[in-house]
């Protein structure tokens, strides 16, 4: 992958490439049946962090999170993609429980980074660690439509964000 296709702050490829990669996996000529999971991850409350400390500090957070995801992605042989405050993973040969383990590993890794939100005007967030909310979609159908799979992962992400907000 050429350097120009990566997001500078995270060092990860742009999500537009993930759409092509997913379509290639699902549309490959020599398909074998295997579970494939797409994981969409949003940094929780990132706008507060970015607005409170500025984009330079926000970019540092995106870079640290990107580096963590790249390491975890390598263990899963999963490409990780980045756009804004969202990260995507394509997990081949990974069913839903495996994708859930991936997400849990990311959450634990973020706890280990100990990045705390700070905002001069929002005191309640001061001791909150950077975290993610994720959405997962899995298929074993190699004829599945990549856009539908992404839509299902996005719907799961939206559902999980609503649940997080209700429980906050």
Distance (Å, rounded) from C-alpha 111 to C-alpha 116?
Answer: 9
In sign, the C-alpha dihedral spanning 154, 155, 159, 165 is positive
Global pTM exceeds 0.95: no
The phi-psi region of residue 129 (left if phi > 0; otherwise alpha if psi is between -120 and 50; otherwise beta) is beta
Query: What are the structure tokens assigned to 163, written together?
Result: 């649940």
Q: What is the pLDDT of residues 81-137, one digit of tens each?
A: 888 888 999 998 999 999 999 999 999 999 998 887 766 666 666 667 889 999 999
Which pair of tokens denotes residue 153?
């992962």
Beta strands in the chain (DSSP E): 36-43, 80-83, 86-92, 132-139
pLDDT in tens, 34-63: 899 999 999 988 887 777 777 888 888 888
Q: Which two tokens stand for residue 116?
A: 């705390």
Domains and CATH numbers, the chain: 3-162 (3.30.70.270)
Q: How far apart are CA 132 and CA 75, in angstroms?
A: 19
């Amino acid at each position: 992958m050429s350097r120009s296709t990566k997001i500078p702050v995270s060092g990860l490829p742009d999500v537009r490439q993930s759409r092509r990669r997913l379509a290639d996996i699902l549309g490959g000529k020599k398909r074998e049946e295997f579970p494939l999971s797409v994981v969409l991850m949003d940094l929780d409350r990132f706008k507060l962090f970015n607005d409170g400390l500025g984009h330079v500090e926000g970019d540092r957070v995106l870079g640290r999170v990107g580096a963590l995801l790249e390491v975890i992605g390598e263990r899963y042989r999963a490409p990780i993609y980045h756009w804004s405050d969202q990260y995507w993973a394509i997990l081949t040969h990974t069913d839903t429980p495996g994708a859930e383990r991936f997400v849990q590993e990311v959450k634990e890794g973020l706890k280990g980074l100990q990045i705390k939100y700070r905002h001069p005007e929002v005191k309640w967030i001061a001791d909150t660690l950077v975290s993610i909310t994720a959405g997962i979609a899995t298929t074993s159908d190699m004829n599945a439509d990549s856009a539908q799979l992404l839509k299902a992962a996005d719907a799961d992400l939206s559902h999980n964000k609503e649940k997080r907000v209700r429980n906050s």
